[in-house]
Amino acid sequence: MRTEAAGRRRPGERLPAFLALPALAGLAFLLLPLAGLLLRTPWAELPDRLAAPGVLAALRLSLFSATAATGLCLLLGVPLAWLLARTRFPGRGMVRALVTVPLVLPPVVGGVALLLVYGRRGLIGAWLDSTFGITLPFTTGAVVVAEAFVAMPFLIIAVEGALRAADPRYEEAAATLGASRWTTFRRVTLPMVGPGVAAGAVLCWSRALGEFGATITFAGNFPGRTQTMPSAVYLALEQDLEAAIVLSLLLLVVSVAILAGLRDRWVGGLR
């Protein structure tokens, strides 16, 4: 009886010492840099620093581009996640591996790859330029594309996991009652995987907000047009350390506020 009760004991009630010490070390490893940022912030000069030219413009561009990139990821990533989770086709494992490549690919390499495809002489960029006169690199649209490229795998992984965990019997029942595939997807499948989609969208947005390498390579660092907050931090770090600290603090506050506000309401799929 005692053995059965011990087996039913919920984990985490009492953390063993051999796990507690590394856990505390890991917590300190993650929190100390944030504490250092707060301690080094020039609080007395904070209002003037935040009112400096270009800060609000970089923040607005970061929020807009991260939101637009997340919308693009939802538009393309949800169907791709459904394809990987619900269909069988030759090479599905390879496709899944390729989809997750941006997770491990150095962002600068991703930016170079985007230039080779969408640049003026790229595989698609040359056609866009000659046919429609559209030049994508070093524009605001390039910021959105670069952020979507590096952030989409987070959405796909979350949505695919939610689709695999969803009970297909509800969809089968809807089809039996005469619902079309689109109606079943819209009225049954999406509500079931909604928490997973929301979790993936939040992760995707957060990754897009902090993207730097692919963005600066593919879009450049032009104030008011392609300079996002991470790019502004990089530029300020070379000229004014205190300005870089203030910009970093602002980016940290925005990220934490968004994640804290969305977690309890939407991010049930991460629990």
Per domain, the residue ranges of the chain are 52-103+152-207+226-270
CB count within 10 Å of CB 207 equals 23
Which residues have CB under 8 Å from 100's CB, separation 6+? 153, 156, 157
The pLDDT value given to residue 1: 46
Domain 52-103+152-207+226-270 belongs in CATH node 1.10.3720.10: yes
pTM, 2 dp: 0.83
Helix 107-118 to helix 140-165 angle (10° resolution) is 110
Residue 198, CA distances (Å) to 42, 78, 218, 255 in order: 36, 11, 28, 16
157: its two tokens: 């992984």
pLDDT at residue 5 above 70? no
Helix 55-86 to helix 229-239 angle (10° resolution) is 130
The pLDDT value given to residue 13: 64
222: its two tokens: 């032009």
Averaged pLDDT, 215-230 = 92
pLDDT at residue 4 above 60? no
Q: Is the dihedral of CA 152, 155, 157, 159 positive or negative?
A: negative
| % residues pLDDT > 70 (the chain) | 90
The pLDDT value given to residue 263: 59
In tens, the pLDDT along 119-174 reads 988 899 999 888 888 899 999 999 999 999 999 999 999 999 998 888 788 888 88
Helical H runs in 87-139? 92-99, 101-104, 107-118, 125-132
Which residues have CB under 8 Å from 171's CB, separation 6+? 184, 188, 189
In tens, the pLDDT along 37-79 reads 888 888 888 888 887 777 888 889 999 999 999 999 999 999 9
